[in-house]
Amino acid sequence: MIRVLGFDPGLKITGFGVIELKAKDCRVVQAGVIKARVNKDLALRLQELYRGLKEIIAEAKPDEIAVEELCSHYQHPRTAILMGHARGLIYLLSAEQGIPIVSYSAKRIKKSLTGNGSASKLQVQRVIQARLALPRLPEPSDVADALAVALCHINCTHLVLGGIIH
């Protein structure tokens, strides 16, 4: 059995999704978002996010962590910088807990799940819903993205039938 914790990092909202792989079956253990209050200064927001991330990692007890890579072609560089702060906290906690961490580009995540690196968010959500036997599309998008990251990691590192392996 392997337990993967996927993150869609953001300073305002960080999505997380825990997927357990047993034999060739995947199931969602837990998923949600961590929200930092926007009206606080950066140091306090980072502290709040750090505490939330630490709590999720302690509860989930993942064997591996997967996180979305920072996109370097953002039209708004501030977004990339803020996302980088959240990614840094995830990497720090992974090192503190001794949990292996891997990052994947958005294109690789989409290609791993749908076969198309330019797939729409809706296409990705539908694949996640089908692969994880969810009764409805995963929402909000931060949760869907986090589950996509975790599922991509499983597809890329563990042989799973039904996944698109490349």
Q: Is residue 48 among the annotated active site residues?
A: no
| Set 8, 20, 64, 145: catalytic member | 8
Average pLDDT over residues 15-37: 93
This prediction has a pTM of: 0.91
Question: Are the CB atoms for 64 and 35 separated by under 8 Å?
Answer: no
Phi, psi (degrees; rounded to nearest 5) at 19: -120, 135
Q: Is residue 68 among the annotated active site residues?
A: yes
| Set 59, 63, 64, 68: catalytic member | 68
Q: Is residue 142 among the annotated active site residues?
A: yes
- Kindly report, residue by residue over 30-84, the tens digit of the pLDDT: 999 999 887 778 899 999 999 999 999 999 999 999 999 876 555 667 777 878 8
Domains, the chain, ordered by start: 2-157 (3.30.420.10)
